[in-house]
A and B are shown apart, each in its own frame.
Chain A
Amino acid sequence: MSKGKVFVVTSGKGGVGKTTTSASVAAGLALAGKKTVVIDFDVGLRNLDLILGCERKVVFDFIQALKKECKLNQAIIHVKQISDNLYMIPASQTRDKDHLSHEGVKEIISQLVEDFDYVICDSPAGIEKGAKMAMYFADEAIVVTNPEISSVRDSDRILGFLDSSTRLAEEEGKRIPQHLLITRYSPDRVESGEMLSIQDIDDILSIPLVGVIPESRVVLDSSNQGKPVVLNSQDPAGQAYEDVIKRLLGDDVPMRFTEIEKKSFLGRLFGGR
């Protein structure tokens, strides 16, 4: 078996949808038949377990595995209510992030890539140790950005770190592939000039776009229930995440939900909001 691919989901700014994206990307890859593990790097502020609906199965955590207080297998939770191929490693809720040692993380990730097709690293916000560790061993990066001025600025900072502070950059002088994922996009607000457009964001960050997730009430609803948005194939946000998975797997899928939806006459009469 060839070695698995390591993705980091990062953003700089908090609250833009890193964990939502990590959960949906991991679940989507698993449902596409890829054996996938997603790691929560947000030590002290564990949340991925909630979004994946497995908070009651947490016994051991990432830091314990790293410090060899348990076996790696014991820290891995099988999220089989979503997919037989989906696994996660929860962050520690009590330990300080100083325990995230370079060697420890390296050892765990190098073991995981032997067993899994995809390893998704859910980065914490900020540019401190947790975020640096989450990106260091990545082969590719997904940068999550809201069409909002502070989020775009922080993403640009993160792109700077991704260029210089990964294993591939330091050891081989290579830049890891970076994918832009825009979340909470509202085409009608873009049209009325109150929100940065995809083009505006691209002009500033200029990295390839892997997806645009439209603003949707289903995202909160999904978190409430512990089911990743990608499972909701009726909703545009879920469908947009499905498209992201296809693009990550190499399919050329056109962007959807980036233009204002033209409602039919009846839709306008009964649709409402």
Chain B
Amino acid sequence: MSGIFTFWRANKKTSASIAKDRLQVLVAHERSANQQPDWMPKMQREILEVIRKYVPIASDDLKMEVRNEGENVSVIEINVDYPIGK
């Protein structure tokens, strides 16, 4: 019987599924933020200063993340967006 009701509701998103979607995004983000090493914020500030000697960028144009790639390898990923022609 619940099958029929589920069918009726199928095209309408329930508030529980909205909650789940929001949580999944948030929790994934917070987990990766919490797993960043302690030296990360300082290194990020220093790299930002170096880049700014050459290119004017805003602080949120620099994105850094440490990711585990397999058992013995971690990768520091650095992404810098900067405006062309300025």
* Assembled-state Cα–Cα distance A115/B34 (Å): 38
| Chain-A contact segment, one of B16-24, B46-54, B57-65, B78-86 | B16-24
Contact A200 B16 (CB under 8 A): yes
A202-225: which residues lie under 8 A (CB-CB) from chain B? 203-204
* In the complex, chain B residues whose CB is within 8 Å of the CB of A149: 19, 22-23
Known A156-B30, A156-B31, A160-B34; judge A194-B16 contact (CB<8 A).
yes
Known A190-B16, A193-B17, A194-B14; judge A204-B31 contact (CB<8 A).
no
Contact A204 B16 (CB under 8 A): no
Considering residues B22, B26, B27, B31, which has the most beta carbons from chain A within 10 angstroms of its beta carbon?
B27
Number of interface residues of A (CB under 8 A): 17
Contact A196 B19 (CB under 8 A): yes
* In the complex, chain A residues whose CB is within 8 Å of the CB of B16: 190, 193-197, 200
* In the complex, chain A residues whose CB is within 8 Å of the CB of B42: none
Residue A179, interface by CB 8 Å: no
Contact B31 A160 (CB under 8 A): yes
* In the complex, chain B residues whose CB is within 8 Å of the CB of A192: 14
Residue A191, interface by CB 8 Å: yes
Contact B31 A193 (CB under 8 A): no
Across the two chains, which residue of chain B brings its CB closest to A157? B30
Residue B2, interface by CB 8 Å: yes
Contact B24 A204 (CB under 8 A): yes
Residue A51, interface by CB 8 Å: no
Residue A88, interface by CB 8 Å: no
A82-101: which residues lie under 8 A (CB-CB) from chain B? none
Question: Which residues of A approach B to under 8 Å, CB–CB?
Answer: 149, 152-153, 156-157, 160, 190-197, 200, 203-204
Across the two chains, which residue of chain B brings its CB closest to A147? B16
Sample of 5 A–B contacts (CB below 8 Å):
A152-B27, A153-B26, A194-B14, A204-B20, A204-B27
Contact B15 A193 (CB under 8 A): yes
* In the complex, chain B residues whose CB is within 8 Å of the CB of A191: 2
* Assembled-state Cα–Cα distance A196/B14 (Å): 10
* In the complex, chain A residues whose CB is within 8 Å of the CB of B15: 193-194
Across the two chains, which residue of chain A brings its CB closest to B24? A204
Nearest 8 pairs of A and B residues by beta carbon: A193-B14, A149-B19, A200-B20, A156-B27, A193-B16, A196-B16, A160-B34, A194-B15
* In the complex, chain A residues whose CB is within 8 Å of the CB of B9: 193
Q: Which of B20, B30, B31 contacts A196 (CB 8 A)?
A: B20
Across the two chains, which residue of chain A brings its CB closest to B12? A193
* In the complex, chain B residues whose CB is within 8 Å of the CB of A195: 16
* In the complex, chain A residues whose CB is within 8 Å of the CB of B30: 153, 156-157
* In the complex, chain B residues whose CB is within 8 Å of the CB of A153: 23, 26-27, 30
Contact A204 B17 (CB under 8 A): no
* In the complex, chain A residues whose CB is within 8 Å of the CB of B27: 152-153, 156, 204
Contact A204 B2 (CB under 8 A): no
* Assembled-state Cα–Cα distance A157/B14 (Å): 26
Across the two chains, which residue of chain A brings its CB closest to B9? A193
* Assembled-state Cα–Cα distance A160/B17 (Å): 24
